[in-house]
């Protein structure tokens, strides 16, 4: 309790106690004086109480004013921070929009000018968009490509596999695949292409569409087939010809030779890997082709033929005709040697 409230009440109680215990409390002048004193004390108490309440009100008003000022300052700072956040978010949105636009422009430039055929397909394998390169590959216009089904341009025998792989992309079993596949041009021509298919998904991982990139490899495919046929023909000759055939490095180390060579010199391929073929020549004949062989490996000539004596694994000496030929790489540089050996001893 406030001490200022206790003091007046204590004084009043003390005065009343003194007066009541006095023998003159029943006189008229005493009653009048008592009334005056009590009135003065009560008035003083009320005045004191009023002043106390007023002081409390002033104190409370001061506190409210201070809190109000603090709240206003806090609100001002919050409003400033919110405004700054809005400006920052607007700047980020503007920058993100610019970056997105630049990304789309780069993709569109790549899409339109790429030498690789690019097609965008829906999950039903129908074309949504096609760039000029893929239109040239298929021999169709962009209008003819859009809305068409991938099965229409896929070689029938390859379409089941294409459908299976596309379903795996859509189901999320794979993110992409890459292979060689046959397609059909508008004029009915069948051609080989290297295709890479990828699925594009949203933020939840759900597939939205498919992107395919196609490179026409028909010429390379046919060239590879011709090379394979040529290699098969060479292998058939290599294995079955009566003349010894050996593939050697430019240093005349044997890489491979056929059974006829084994029969002529008496050594197997494994044995010859650690033997210099030049050491099989009798010492007197070894220098016969030094200059010719040097010109060959330097690329100054493509082949030469020489007859000289060799020593068989059994130790006997025999005459042989040797034909060395140079094989060059794609840049025309010497790569390896083909040697033909024929037993002419008889």
- Distance, first Cα to last Cα, the chain: 143
Task: Output DSSP code: residue 206.
Answer: -
How many residues belong to the chain? 346
Sign (positive or negative) of CA dihedral 110, 113, 118, 122:
positive
- Lowest pLDDT segment from 24-38, 60-74, 102-116: 24-38
Q: Is the pLDDT score of 314 beyond 80?
A: yes
Report whether pLDDT(103) > 90.
no
Give the tens place of pLDDT for each residue, 8-65: 556 555 555 555 555 555 555 555 655 665 666 556 655 656 667 777 777 777 877 8
**Beta-sheet strands, E only, within the chain:** 117-121, 127-130, 176-184, 190-201, 207-216, 244-248, 254-257, 303-311, 317-328, 334-343
The model carries a pTM of 0.52
Question: What per-residue confidence (pLDDT) applies to 305?
Answer: 95
Average pLDDT of the residues in 305-326: 93
Measured CA to CA in angstroms, residue 285 lies from 200, 280, 303, 320 at distances of 72, 10, 19, 12
**Of 288, 224, 278, which is closest to residue 246 (Cα–Cα)?**
278
Q: What is the pLDDT of residue 255?
A: 86
Percent of the chain with pLDDT over 90: 40
Per-residue confidence band for 178, with pLDDT thresholds at 50, 70 and 90? very high
Do residues 145 and 135 touch, judged by C-beta distance below 8 A? Answer: yes
The pLDDT tens digits of the residues spanning 199-239 come to 988 888 888 999 999 999 999 888 888 888 888 888 888 88
Domain boundaries along the sequence of the chain: 3-89, 114-218, 241-343
Contact 254, 272 (CB under 8 A): yes
Q: Which of 53-62, 110-119, 273-282 has the lowest mean pLDDT?
A: 53-62
Q: What is the pLDDT of residue 147?
A: 92
Asked if the domains at 114-218 and 241-343 fall in one CATH topology, the answer is: yes
pLDDT of residue 130: 92
Classified by CATH at the fold level, domain 241-343 comes out as Beta-Lactamase (3.30.450)
**How high is the pLDDT of residue 295?**
92
CA distance 291 to 286: 11
Q: What is the three-class DSSP state of 236?
A: helix
Give the pLDDT confidence score for residue 20 in this predicted structure.
57
Q: Are 169 and 121 in contact (CB under 8 A)?
A: no
Task: Determine the Cα–Cα distance for residues 136 and 155; give it in Å rounded to an integer.
Answer: 18
Please tell me the distance from the alpha carbon of residue 346 to that of residue 344, in angstroms, as a whole number: 6
According to CATH, the superfamily of the domain at 114-218 is PAS domain (3.30.450.20)
């Amino acid at each position: 309790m406030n001490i200022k409230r206790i003091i007046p009440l204590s004084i009043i109680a003390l005065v009343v106690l003194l007066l009541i215990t006095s023998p003159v409390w029943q006189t008229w002048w005493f009653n009048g004086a008592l009334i005056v004193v009590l009135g003065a004390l009560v008035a003083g108490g009320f005045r004191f109480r009023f002043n106390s309440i007023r002081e409390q009100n002033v104190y409370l008003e001061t506190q409210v004013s201070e809190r109000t000022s603090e709240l206003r300052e806090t609100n001002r700072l919050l409003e400033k921070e919110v405004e700054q956040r809005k400006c920052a978010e607007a700047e980020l949105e503007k920058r993100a929009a610019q970056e997105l636009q630049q990304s789309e422009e780069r993709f569109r430039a790549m899409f339109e000018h790429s030498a690789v055929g690019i097609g965008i397909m829906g999950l039903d394998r129908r074309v949504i968009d096609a760039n000029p390169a893929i239109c040239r590959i298929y021999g169709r216009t962009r209008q003819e490509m859009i809305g068409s089904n991938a099965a229409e341009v896929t070689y029938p025998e390859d379409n089941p596999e294409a459908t299976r792989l596309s379903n795996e992309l859509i189901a999320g079993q794979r993110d992409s695949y890459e292979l060689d596949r046959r397609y059909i041009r508008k004029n009915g021509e069948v051609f080989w292409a290297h295709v890479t298919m990828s699925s594009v998904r949203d933020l939840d991982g759900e597939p939205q569409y498919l992107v395919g990139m196609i490179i026409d490899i028909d010429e390379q495919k046919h060239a590879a087939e011709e090379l394979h046929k040529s290699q098969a023909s060479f292998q058939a000759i290599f294995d079955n010809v009566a003349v010894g055939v050996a593939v050697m490095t430019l240093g005349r180390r044997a890489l491979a030779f056929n059974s006829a060579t084994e029969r002529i010199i008496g050594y197997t391929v494994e044995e010859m890997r650690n033997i210099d073929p030049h050491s099989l020549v009798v010492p007197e004949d070894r220098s016969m082709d030094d200059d010719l062989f040097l010109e060959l490996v330097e690329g100054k000539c493509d082949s030469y033929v020489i007859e000289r004596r060799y020593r068989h694994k059994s130790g006997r000496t025999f005459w042989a005709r040797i034909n060395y030929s140079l094989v060059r790489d794609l840049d025309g540089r010497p790569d390896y040697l083909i040697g033909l050996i024929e037993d002419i001893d008889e």
